[in-house]
Amino acid sequence: MNKFILVLFLAMATWACQGGQAEQSNTSTPTNTPAAETPPSNASASSNAGTATYPSIQADMVKMLWEKCDYVDFVFYYLNFSMSQKVQNSIRQTIAHISSEVPRIDPNCQPIGRLFFQSEGQNIAEADIFYSNGCAYYIFYEDGKYAYANKMLPQGTQFYDNIFKQVQAQKK
């Protein structure tokens, strides 16, 4: 089963990389909602993540996201910025950034934002983005609690690097 998951992720990553970033539909919008500006409290994030370990997101969940997701919302906690994707190829690239490997959860890392995967206007999955201080992983929610964790592939870290560079360039 693990080999199947690995092959599925590699196939998705290879296929998604062929699409290119030109088709991505990013809309940056200032967000003034408290949820967008305020990350989970350190106590909450620590008690949720801590040094806990979580299994990898299930292959059938990734397959469902790949097939049904038609919109991805990125909400960043520390930036007055959010973005979304509505082009299927871009959405699939984002999904392909999810490694099948389970990360070591660092209690010193805090989430920088949250991903909302949607289908026909409904949230079908949600994950915190951990990307700082040597952390590069996602922790997915189930029933409002952390349930699954997956490393971020190098293409994912490059994707977020590019986003933050663009945001910094716009501020100048």
Residue ranges, the chain, pLDDT below 50: 1-49
What pLDDT sits at residue 137? 97
Q: Is the pTM of this model over 0.75?
A: no
CA distances from 83 to 31, 80, 114 (A): 10, 11, 11
What pLDDT sits at residue 28? 38
Cα 22 vs. chain centroid, distance in angstroms?
20
Instruction: Please state the domain extents for the chain.
Output: 2-171
What pLDDT sits at residue 170? 83
* DSSP-based three-state secondary structure for 167: helix
